[in-house]
């Protein structure tokens, strides 16, 4: 009787989980693995990401410039330079985050 309740192997469990995921994707008509396994961002989520990208890049740029100014005694020139570099990096990050928005309409056929 102990042989009848033999635990399933991990490979068998993995196969069943993959089959269930495939069946769910087929029923719902969505496939998140094509987008890297991440769900699409909502409008608020995208706005928060854009704001965070801008503020973080700007803060890092100003922070690096401030520390270099303190270290080299060139206050405020390096902070100004790194302010603009941080701003440019933030804008590039925002561009990368929003680049997919224009392509999404092309695939709909509209």
Span 72-108, pLDDT tens digits? 999 999 999 999 999 999 999 999 999 987 765 555 5
Q: Cα–Cα distance between 39 and 31 in angstroms, integer?
A: 9
Pick from 14-23, 34-43, 64-73: least confident: 34-43
- What's the longest Cα–Cα distance across the chain? 82
DSSP class of residue 101 equals H
Close Cβ partners of 46 (under 8 Å, ≥ 6 residues apart): 97, 98
Q: What is the pLDDT of residues 37-63, one digit of tens each?
A: 667 778 899 999 999 999 999 999 999
| Tokens standing for residue 17 | 């989980």
SS3 32: coil
pLDDT of 33 > 70? The answer is no
User: Residue ranges of the domains in the chain?
Assistant: 10-101
């Amino acid at each position: 009787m102990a042989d009848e309740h033999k635990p399933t192997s991990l490979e068998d469990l993995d196969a069943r989980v993959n089959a269930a995921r495939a069946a769910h994707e087929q029923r719902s008509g969505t496939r998140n693995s094509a987008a890297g396994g991440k769900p699409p961002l909502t409008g608020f989520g995208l706005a928060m990401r854009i704001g965070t990208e801008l503020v973080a890049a700007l803060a890092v740029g100003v922070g690096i410039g401030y520390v270099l100014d303190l270290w080299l005694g060139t206050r405020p020139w390096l902070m100004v330079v790194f302010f603009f570099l941080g701003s440019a990096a933030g804008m590039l990050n925002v561009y990368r985050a929003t680049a997919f928005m224009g392509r999404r309409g092309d695939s709909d056929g509209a």
